[in-house]
Chain A
Amino acid sequence: MRNPSVETQGLPARGAHAADEPLLAVDNLHVEFHTRQGVAHAVNGVSYSLNAGETLAVLGESGSGKSVTAQAIMGILDMPPARIPAGEIRFHGTDLLKLSDKDRSQIRGQRIAMVFQDALSALNPVFTVGWQIAEMFRVHRGMSRGDARKKAVELMDRVRIPGAKQRIDDYPHQFSGGMRQRIMIAMSIALDPEVLIADEPTTALDVTVQAQIMELLAELRQESNMGLILITHDLGVVADVADKIAVMYGGRIVENAPVHDLYRNPGHPYTKGLLESIPRVDLKGQELYAIKGMPPNLLEMPSGCAFHPRCPYRRDECATAVPPLYSISGTRSSACHYWREVFDGGSR
């Protein structure tokens, strides 16, 4: 039996924490996919950071690169076709991209874990849920079947699956959507990860169940002081749980802000457009504000700022010069040449 407390050499010990280094930092990450139609630049220089106990929401539409970034952090991208030409992913200051596969697998699932969107397709239909949860302990902790099974029941209790003892031998199809997502969460938190990435965890669920799952995630985060990365396109969910937000568009971060600031005064035309297109009570019966056009094709990214074909603030410069992330204040930044105008024009 392996001793679970032995950490692989070169990896930071749990709890050992450099004061000036965030728990997880993504720095100038690039991911591209080589396809028959050409090279798709899915992620183009994304940077964000996460501290322990913090909730970072990554907001973006389909194709904005939010999930690919998460998969790069987990190290579950299929390479090829994917390639990471540049960038760093630092976990406790150690660049994960430079680690060997063996070291990487010590972190994946144990220190950084992930909850996927569609629980039914993420769970194996031919094994019982108890077996699948216990597998985490058997494989990673070398526990015996009996011990692992006991741990699995404990975990099912912890994610509040009623009657855990009776249901441990049920198969995934015997559970409802919300319960399946709880099982996924149980598996992801089994080994007490320091970072939990939740990729659209509630998109396939009803609002009432969504509320239950979000509450559960918030409680678990608080109990164990995890860092939580919540990937979503839902502005409502973000407003409910996030501490800070990174808005992605066309493979780039277009805005970084603490949650209250972002909703009060967005600093990028895309964020502003999204917030304005939410149906509001006082605007009932009127036309909704709609962002023109459609999201960019990753194979043919617009030149300059990826948002410029849809942007009401655009000038000639936007089609040629890629805007850097301008720092607005200590905690905020916006990738818009004219962020000052967006800022001034908008008290909502």
Chain B
Amino acid sequence: MAAHGETILEVRDLVKHFPLTQGIVFKRQVGAIKAVDGVSFDLRRGETLGVVGESGCGKSTLAKVLMALERPTSGSVTIDGKDIGKARGSELKRMRRNIQMVMQDPYTSLNPRMTVGDIVGEPFEIHSDVVPKDGRRQRVQELLEVVGLNPDHINRYPHQFSGGQRQRIGIARGLALQPEIIICDEPVSALDVSIQAQVMNLLDRLQKEFNLAYIFIAHDLSVVRHISDRVAVMYLGKIVELGKDNEIYEKPSHPYTQALLSAVPVPNPDGRESRERIILQGDPPSPANPPTGCRFRTRCWKAQDICAKEEPLLQIRPGTDHLSACHFAEAHDVVHAQ
């Protein structure tokens, strides 16, 4: 995972607002859900960027905008130098080949009426110039083998497979068009504990084999740490901290990251009485009406007047070596080395 190539995905000031309307015939816009509100990052070839945050922080909307399933309200998503948000028609179709997705729930993301061969081969129907018709079946079997499934099971239906195997089918479908970027949206959270490690290992192996870049969205922080080179922490539509995995996990500088890390249960009962724990009170505010200034200030124990007035930018702060969006950022070791 060490050698990283050039930047393959560039996200700049990405904003996605969903309008809130009132009235039936004459719809008036009365506000907006600010799902993603000014997100910027780069992704390099062969790299994994982990994205963590609570539900409702905009992780999945971000994934949809990157996939061009939603149009951004403003900002740009540039893949290999081309803006996918502005692409239309055949150009968009060609660009989509390069960025694919693995869904969260393997029980609902596979069509129960299609055979595995049809599911994994469907991308070739849509992008018919990738593999000639008579070579598709063989290509699908190769893909099944790559993800560790028996190629002879090509005519089976999804219900004949277990959860872990179904997730492998979803991964094979994601690989079909040989993308350079794969967005994994909670790829292991629906799986049994003993199966999660198998799928994680598969993703790891495929990354090395095909030099894939992953955007790995998950709420399980230990899983994210294991697979990620860099981690972005999101809160209410913004990235509040971004850095290498050990910078985020060992020296988190944003209070939200510190609280998030300290809330993760450590699978080791030794010293559990003395463990430092920051328990956040309440729930995140509504993304329709986020607080002024710093969005985390309503739940932050460090909040002062400046936090309500001035929005902290995502930048390197004194005393830290990675990006943090807090006026009072300071490195703090919350989760002690296990």
Chain B residues positioned under 8 Å from A208 (CB to CB): 54, 259-260, 263, 279-280
Find out whether the CB atom of A279 lies under 8 angstroms from the CB atom of B266: no
Find out whether the CB atom of A209 lies under 8 angstroms from the CB atom of B283: yes
Is B289 an interface position by the 8 A CB rule?
no
- Known contacts: A208-B54, A281-B337. The answer to whether A260 contacts B269 by CB under 8 A is yes
Shortest CB–CB separation between residue A37 and chain B, in angstroms? 13
Find out whether the CB atom of B279 lies under 8 angstroms from the CB atom of A211: yes
- CB closest residue in chain A, given B164: A294
- CB closest residue in chain B, given A293: B194
Is A38 an interface position by the 8 A CB rule?
no
Shortest CB–CB separation between residue B173 and chain A, in angstroms? 20
Chain B residues positioned under 8 Å from A287 (CB to CB): 201, 204-205
Please classify how large the interface on chain A is, using the bins under 10, 10 to 19, 20 to 34, 35 or more: 35 or more
Shortest CB–CB separation between residue A55 and chain B, in angstroms? 12
Chain B residues positioned under 8 Å from A178 (CB to CB): 283
In the complex, chain B residues 262-312 whose Cβ is within 8 Å of any chain A Cβ: 263-270, 272, 277, 279-283
Find out whether the CB atom of A61 lies under 8 angstroms from the CB atom of B198: no
In the complex, chain A residues 242-297 whose Cβ is within 8 Å of any chain B Cβ: 242, 259-260, 263-264, 270, 273-275, 277-285, 287-291, 294-295
Is B219 an interface position by the 8 A CB rule?
yes
Find out whether the CB atom of A234 lies under 8 angstroms from the CB atom of B265: yes
Find out whether the CB atom of A176 lies under 8 angstroms from the CB atom of B266: no
The answer for the CA separation of A290 and B198 in the assembled complex, in Å, is: 5
Q: Which of the residues B192, B263, B283 comes within 8 Å of A179, measured between beta carbons? A: B283
- Known contacts: A259-B269, A260-B269. The answer to whether A207 contacts B263 by CB under 8 A is yes
The answer for the CA separation of A282 and B338 in the assembled complex, in Å, is: 8
The answer for the CA separation of A85 and B14 in the assembled complex, in Å, is: 61
- CB closest residue in chain A, given B275: A240
The answer for the CA separation of A316 and B205 in the assembled complex, in Å, is: 33
In the complex, chain A residues 213-246 whose Cβ is within 8 Å of any chain B Cβ: 214-215, 233-240, 242
Chain A facing B: main interface SS: helix
Q: Which of the residues A61, A179, A280 comes within 8 Å of B194, measured between beta carbons? A: A61
- Known contacts: A206-B219, A233-B192, A274-B194. The answer to whether A263 contacts B225 by CB under 8 A is no
Find out whether the CB atom of B193 lies under 8 angstroms from the CB atom of A235: yes
Find out whether the CB atom of A289 lies under 8 angstroms from the CB atom of B197: yes
- Known contacts: A178-B283, A207-B260, A208-B280. The answer to whether A275 contacts B195 by CB under 8 A is no
- Known contacts: A206-B54, A208-B259, A211-B277. The answer to whether A288 contacts B197 by CB under 8 A is yes
Is A212 an interface position by the 8 A CB rule?
yes
- CB closest residue in chain B, given A177: B55
- Known contacts: A162-B282, A263-B268. The answer to whether A277 contacts B194 by CB under 8 A is yes
Find out whether the CB atom of B267 lies under 8 angstroms from the CB atom of A263: yes
- Known contacts: A179-B283, A287-B201. The answer to whether A61 contacts B267 by CB under 8 A is no
In the complex, chain B residues 219-269 whose Cβ is within 8 Å of any chain A Cβ: 219, 221-223, 225-226, 245, 249, 259-260, 263-269
Find out whether the CB atom of B268 lies under 8 angstroms from the CB atom of A239: yes
Find out whether the CB atom of A291 lies under 8 angstroms from the CB atom of B194: yes
The answer for the CA separation of A177 and B270 in the assembled complex, in Å, is: 30
- Known contacts: A237-B265, A289-B197. The answer to whether A294 contacts B162 by CB under 8 A is yes
Find out whether the CB atom of B264 lies under 8 angstroms from the CB atom of A207: yes
The answer for the CA separation of A238 and B272 in the assembled complex, in Å, is: 11
The answer for the CA separation of A259 and B204 in the assembled complex, in Å, is: 32
Find out whether the CB atom of B193 lies under 8 angstroms from the CB atom of A277: yes
Q: What 1/0 flags go to B295-331 for Cβ under 8 Å of A?
A: 0000000000000000000000000000000000000
The answer for the CA separation of A239 and B273 in the assembled complex, in Å, is: 11
Q: What 1/0 flags go to B5-44 for Cβ under 8 Å of A?
A: 0000000000000000000000000000000000000000
Find out whether the CB atom of A263 lies under 8 angstroms from the CB atom of B259: no
Find out whether the CB atom of A206 lies under 8 angstroms from the CB atom of B55: yes
Is A62 an interface position by the 8 A CB rule?
yes
The answer for the CA separation of A285 and B3 in the assembled complex, in Å, is: 13
Q: List 14 A-B contacts (CB under 8 A).
A: A206-B219, A208-B260, A209-B54, A214-B265, A215-B279, A236-B222, A239-B268, A270-B194, A279-B226, A281-B338, A285-B1, A288-B197, A288-B200, A295-B195
Extra contacts, 8 of them, besides A239-B266, A263-B270, A275-B267 (Cβ < 8 A), are A207-B263, A208-B280, A210-B265, A235-B267, A260-B270, A263-B269, A279-B223, A285-B1
- By Cβ-Cβ distance, the 6 closest A-B pairs, closest first, are A236-B265, A279-B226, A290-B197, A277-B197, A211-B263, A206-B54
